[in-house]
Amino acid sequence: MTDRFSRADVARVARLARLELNAEEQDLFARQLAGILAYAEQIQRVPTEGIEPTSHAGDAAMLRDDEVRPSLPREASLAAAPDGDTAAGLFKVPRVLG
Amino acid sequence: MDTPSGVRDIRDAVVAGRMSAVDICRQTLDRIATLNPPLNAFRGVAPERALARAAELDAQRDRSPLPLFGVPVAIKDNICTRGLATTASSRMLDGYVPPYDATVVERLEAAGAVIVGKTNCDEFAMGSSTENSAFGPTRNPWALDRIPGGSSGGSAAAVAARMVPMALGSDTGGSIRQPAALCGVVGFKPSYGRVSRYGLIAFASSLDQIGPIATTVADAALVMNVLAGADPRDSTASAAPVPDFAHALDEPRDGLRGVRIGVPRHLFSDGVEDAVLSAFEAALAVTRDRGAEVVDVALPYSPQAIPVYYIVATAEASSNLARYDGVRYGHRAGQAHTPAEMYERSRGEGFGREVKRRIILGTYVLSAGYYDAYYRQAQQVRTLIREDYDKALAGVDVIAMPTSPTAAFKLGERTDDPVQMYLSDVFTVGANLAGLPAVTVPCGFTGSRLPIGLQLTGRAMDDATVLRIADDYERATPWSNERPPRPAASASR
């Protein structure tokens, strides 16, 4: 059971999650996630044919009228950006096209 | 020492003019300055802002209608406060200052409360000990070598040490109730949808709820009157009418006569500390003396609650935390040459271990080839767990369990074993999976004087009944009056 979650598996999933992990973290998580999944597998023994999945526990979503309301001013939205350009009204990121 | 210390006492003293809001605020700030250093309950204190707000309240003529007039409160650091740093105890959000207030913050301030600071928590509310804070753990006021529980450990410790009479927490799998129990105070997780989550930094949206931590059930009920209600900015906030929770406690009645309490004894087999079980049994005896009928109930699918919870919660977290990409707010890694490299490195540098572990687990259970076996299966078992509670609660008013299987454990004791840490939540996750209201109220101590909590879980949107039964139990017992030892000035670390 414990070899079912390899370091390569962790690296593959980390890539899907856009999350950089160092070698030590990859080793640690491979070991720990194998343990967590081994523990979690008990749910697979529960017969669930025909059971509706629960995605949330509340009532149906409350709907409101679709009308224009004031939103945050642009400067406030940009204030916390690591590289915001308030004058131009832009969030700047590294070059996308080479 | 005649200073009022509870929510209602402080409010009444200020409204009656026996004390000014500024006096109360100064005393609160003094207590925090003295008591917080060994505990690390606060991430940040805002003395100028608090004193200015208190002075503003003192200048108001008409104050009687405001239910929290002059009451100092603390806010868990994963709830947005405009102009006041909000980090979710993560490096990712170090220095982040929200441009808006959470709805609960707006409501507290509109009710006359004075926000004095933000409390420490596990990073992004992921943890059961507050050891996952990127800014150091909080310690338990009852024993400084022990954890306060988590993830709202700072809020629970701040209230237990009487630094503030009330602090907001958030509860995704027990994060209000478990720390409140371990710190010997009252914690209430409202029904899903009862309180707006707008401005709560999202962890697992189908489970998260905001609620109060206070020293008495009556104070928690008073705060619930302010927090509860619909919100056009949160589509999950219910439009169901909000009862007067505080008033419901005062209605005349004959103790707990006519109340039925269900106990799922089959869940208490292993891992529950002896002292916890005996305090729990003694609490049941009190409710019987008060007239309640205590019966056995079965929650046959509850042994699956922890694995279901950790699949559902991590799946939702992996999606919710995708927003931290280094573009609009939060940490950005330097010298990235492409957007993809920037995302990966910013997230790798900004998130701590437990958050990364959960993002990986959540991404895995949602990924192609594993979705049906893990995520969909967990959602289906979640349905069975909900039905368990529905069936049991058709015959009883509340379900009683210990809040936590053990009293506070030592710092570092469980940090290397995630599954062991996750088992701290074995009695609390069910209420989140089923969307039910649940309260913890102090019910005794271990031999080494660590607090123990009694948990009562009720029917969806019947928050008032849960609070009413807890209040009756609390008034019949001495536990909520107990206070942690005040550390000698030189005895800390």
Kindly provide the ipTM of the predicted complex, given to two decimals: 0.94
Distance separating alpha carbons of residues B129 and B327, to the nearest angstrom:
31
> In A, which residues are within 8 Å of B271 by CB distance?
none
A53 and chain B: CB distance < 8 Å anywhere?
yes
Is position A91 within any domain?
A: no
Neighbour tally for B442: CB within 10 Å: 29
Residue B487 scores a pLDDT above 70: no
Cα B327 to its chain centre, rounded Å, is 30
**B336: nearest CA partner in chain A:** A94
Residue owning tokens 């962790």: A10
Q: Are strands B260-263 and B293-296 parallel, antiparallel or unpaired?
A: parallel
Residue A52 scores a pLDDT above 90: yes
What's the pLDDT at A60?
64
Residue B1 scores a pLDDT above 60: no
A62 and chain B: CB distance < 8 Å anywhere?
yes
Task: Tell me which residue in B235, B347, B374 faces A62 most closely, judged by beta carbons.
Answer: B235
For residue A14, the domain's CATH number is 1.10.20.60
A97 and chain B: CB distance < 8 Å anywhere?
no
Query: For residue A20, what are its two tokens?
Result: 């950089």
A50 and chain B: CB distance < 8 Å anywhere?
no
What's the pLDDT at A98?
66
Which of A87-96, B151-160, B223-232 is predicted with the least confidence, judged by mean pLDDT? A87-96
Distance separating alpha carbons of residues B101 and B196, to the nearest angstrom:
12
Task: Tell me which residue in B238, B240, B386 faces A54 most closely, judged by beta carbons.
Answer: B386
The catalytic residue among B89, B175, B318, B424 is: B175
What's the pLDDT at A2?
43
Q: Quickly list H helices, B300-338.
A: 305-320
Distance separating alpha carbons of residues B383 and A46, to the nearest angstrom:
12
The catalytic residue among B133, B151, B424, B480 is: B151
Is position A67 within any domain?
A: no
**B416: nearest CA partner in chain A:** A32
Contact B482, B472 (CB under 8 A): no
Question: What ranges do the domains of chain B cover?
Answer: 7-266+273-298+387-481, 304-380
DSSP run (H or E) holding B44: strand B42-45
* Total count of residues recorded for chain B: 493
Question: Measured between CA atoms, how close is A34 to chain B, in angstroms?
Answer: 10
DSSP B15-31: HTTSS-HHHHHHHHHHH
Question: Measured between CA atoms, how close is B125 to chain A, in angstroms?
Answer: 19
DSSP run (H or E) holding B347: helix B339-350
> In B, which residues are within 8 Å of A25 by CB distance?
353, 356
What's the pLDDT at B423?
86
For chain A, give the percent of residues with pLDDT over 70.
Answer: 92
Task: Tell me which residue in A20, A46, A62 faces B344 most closely, judged by beta carbons.
Answer: A20
Q: pLDDT confidence of B491, banded at 50, 70, 90? A: very low
> In B, which residues are within 8 Å of A44 by CB distance?
373, 377
> In B, which residues are within 8 Å of A43 by CB distance?
304, 307-308, 311, 374, 377-378, 381
> In A, which residues are within 8 Å of B381 by CB distance?
43, 46, 48, 51
Q: Quote the number of domains for chain A.
A: 1
Query: For residue A96, what are its two tokens?
Result: 């996308």
The domain of A14 spans 2-45
Query: For residue B390, what are its two tokens?
Result: 């529905």
What's the pLDDT at B252?
87
Mutant choice from A12, A13, A33, A71 vs B, greatest count of B C-beta within 10 A:
A13
What's the pLDDT at A3?
53
B363–A16 C-beta distance less than 8 A: yes
Question: Measured between CA atoms, how close is A26 to chain B, in angstroms?
Answer: 10
DSSP A37-53: HHHHGGGGGS--TTPPP
Residue B489 scores a pLDDT above 90: no
In Å, how far are B282, B294, B457, B467 from B289, measured between CA atoms? 11, 11, 20, 19
Is position A24 within any domain?
A: yes
Active-site residue, B175 included: yes
What's the pLDDT at B492?
42
Structure confidence by residue, pLDDT tens digits, B299-324? 999 999 999 999 999 999 999 999 99
A91 and chain B: CB distance < 8 Å anywhere?
yes
> In A, which residues are within 8 Å of B301 by CB distance?
46
Is position A78 within any domain?
A: no
Query: For residue A94, what are its two tokens?
Result: 């590294």
Structure confidence by residue, pLDDT tens digits, B38-60? 999 999 999 999 999 999 999 98
Task: Tell me which residue in B235, B304, B325 faces A42 most closely, judged by beta carbons.
Answer: B304
Is position A21 within any domain?
A: yes
Residue B239 scores a pLDDT above 60: yes
> In A, which residues are within 8 Å of B207 by CB distance?
57
Contact B430, B305 (CB under 8 A): yes
Is position A58 within any domain?
A: no
* Residue closest to B150 by CA, chosen among B463, B428, B481: B428
Question: Measured between CA atoms, how close is B278 to chain A, in angstroms?
Answer: 29
A82 and chain B: CB distance < 8 Å anywhere?
yes
For chain B, give the percent of residues with pLDDT over 70.
Answer: 98
What's the pLDDT at B77?
98
Residue A11 scores a pLDDT above 90: yes
Residue B139 scores a pLDDT above 90: yes
What superfamily in CATH does domain B7-266+273-298+387-481 come from? Amidase signature (AS) domain (3.90.1300.10)
b/e per residue B117-143 (b: at least 16 CB within 10 A): bbbbbbbbbbbbbbbbbbbebbbbbbb
Q: pLDDT confidence of B269, banded at 50, 70, 90? A: confident
Q: pLDDT confidence of B493, banded at 50, 70, 90? A: very low
- Greatest Cα pair distance, chain A, in angstroms, is 59
Q: How far apart are the first and last CA of chain A?
A: 45
Distance separating alpha carbons of residues B277 and B406, to the nearest angstrom:
9
**B347: nearest CA partner in chain A:** A19
For chain B, give the percent of residues with pLDDT over 90.
Answer: 92
Which of A38-42, B211-215, B282-286 is predicted with the least confidence, judged by mean pLDDT? A38-42
Residue A61 scores a pLDDT above 90: no
Residue B286 scores a pLDDT above 80: yes
The residues, any chain, with a CB within 8 Å of residue B353's CB and separated by 6 or more, are A25, A28, B132
Query: For residue B327, what are its two tokens?
Result: 């573009």
Q: Report, as an integer, the average pLDDT of B250-259.
A: 93
Contact B390, B383 (CB under 8 A): no
Mean pLDDT of chain B: 95
Q: pLDDT confidence of B379, banded at 50, 70, 90? A: very high
> In B, which residues are within 8 Å of A64 by CB distance?
232, 235
What's the pLDDT at B270?
75
* Total count of residues recorded for chain A: 98
Q: pLDDT confidence of B4, banded at 50, 70, 90? A: confident
Contact B241, B229 (CB under 8 A): no
- A23-40 and B305-320 helices cross at what angle (nearest 10)? 140
The catalytic residue among B76, B133, B155, B196 is: B76
Strand runs labelled E in B319-421? 398-402
A13–B367 C-beta distance less than 8 A: yes
User: For chain A, what percentages of helix, strand and coil (3-state, to nearest 5) are there?
Assistant: 40, 5, 55
Is position A50 within any domain?
A: no
Residue A56 scores a pLDDT above 90: no
Q: pLDDT confidence of B424, banded at 50, 70, 90? A: confident
Q: pTM of the predicted model, to two decimals?
A: 0.97
Contact B364, B356 (CB under 8 A): no
Residue A84 phi/psi, 5° resolution?
A: -95, 145
A24 and chain B: CB distance < 8 Å anywhere?
no
Is position A8 within any domain?
A: yes
Residue B488 scores a pLDDT above 60: no
Residue B98 scores a pLDDT above 70: yes
